[in-house]
Amino acid sequence: MRRIRFTLSYDGSAYSGWQVQPGLSTVQGILEAALSRIEGHPVKVHGSGRTDAGVHALAQVAACDLYNPIPPANLQRALNRLLPPDIRVIALTEANLQFHPRHHALAKTYRYRIHRQPVCPPFDRLYVWQHPFPLDEARMALAAALFEGTHDFRAFTATDDRYTPDTDMRRTVFRSHLFRDGDLLIYEVRGSGFLKHMVRNLAGALIELGCGNLTEADLKQMQQTGIRHKGIRTLPPQGLFLVSVEYAPEP
């Protein structure tokens, strides 16, 4: 048996997220179907984490076990022939049998893209959230650093069946910054892991602060109390990209 590690890039527009769901088209489901055709029996794929419906990935990491002896380069070509064009395997290698893409991840980076002009080009509409209204971007950029460090992010997550009152909601954010790139305002965050909708809620909190509806003190209070401010919005999924997943070098 071999453990195969692969890196995927996908446009999430047509999918109900990463995770397999009955009756819905998902990235994990499409990938498992393609691998099962190659292997000749059902194959289970594990990802580094879930992305929600409409969220994109530049470099999602996943792994599965195969008995088929096909060389990695040939397997990559075979998979890309079977997969739809909005899902691509951009790298594929054999990994240690103990490798797990979620448990062994050291850091992940996400990027949220906000289009700031009154007219959004139609070819960008599936990959940005448009917000042409006034924002104090300088204030937002300074406030983004407030999320750095180890905090309880309970106030910045969504309800999920996986979460119980005893679930540890602490996460470590290594870097949180917001910057301009032409017509785009980009929020990028790198951390040890993320809760459901956490990045979209962090970006939403910065938007409300930029609009003048929240203060820096409000953000700090949410971190300290775990109580979500009623003004926080969860930004739409299409502006969010999983940029990278980091691991320690394999021996």
> Catalytic one among 11, 52, 161, 166?
52
CA 224, CA 227: separation in Å to the nearest integer? Answer: 8
Chain centroid to Cα 136, Å, comes to 26
The bridge status of strand 87-95 relative to strand 107-115 is unpaired
Secondary structure class of 97 (helix, strand, coil):
coil
- 52 in active site: yes
Question: Amino acid letter at 240?
Answer: L
- Whole-angstrom Cα distance, residue 49 to residue 27? 12
Cβ atoms of 155 and 222 within 8 Å: the answer is yes
Torsion of CA 130, 87, 43, 245, to 10 degrees: -60
Q: Which two tokens stand for residue 74?
A: 């040939």
Could you give the CA distance from residue 4 to residue 177 in angstroms, rounded to a whole number? 34
Show which residues are catalytic: 52
